[in-house]
Structure 1
Amino acid sequence: MNKIKKYIFVLALLSQSAQAQESTWMFGGLSSEPSKIAVGVPVSFLSTDSEGFEAYKVGAQLLPLYQHGDNYSGISYQFNKYTQNGWAKEGNQLGLTSKVINPRTALGYIANVNMNSLGGHTLLTTDSYIGFQPTSSTRTEFISSREWVETQNALNNGIYYTLGAASIEQRLLDRLSGIVMGGNMYFSDTNTRPFFRLNLIYDALPDYGVNLQLRYRQYRDTNTNVANNYFNPNQYRETMLAVGFRKMIEGWRISGVAGLGSQTINSDGSTGTQLLEFAATSPSVASVFFRTRIGYRKAAGFQGPDYTYSYFMEELIIPF
Structure 2
Amino acid sequence: MRDLDAAHEVLSAAYAKLRLSSTGRRASLRLASRTLGAVRFDELDCRIGFEADCEPSDGYIFGQLACGRVVYSSDGEDRFVRGGDAFLAAPPGRPFTAVTGNLHASIVVFGQAVVDEVVDDVRFVGCRPVSARAAAVWRATSLHLRDGILPAFAGNSLVLANATRLLVATTLATFPHATVSRSKVWDRSDAHPRTLRRAIMFIESNAAMDITAADIARAARVSIRAIQLAFRRHLDTTPMAYLRSVRMSCAHTDLLAANGSVTEIAARWGYARPSVFAAHYRAAYGVPPSRTLWSG
Band the TM-score falls in, shorter-chain normalisation: under 0.3
TM-score using structure 1 length: 0.25
Which has more radius of gyration?
Answer: 2
TM-score using structure 2 length: 0.26
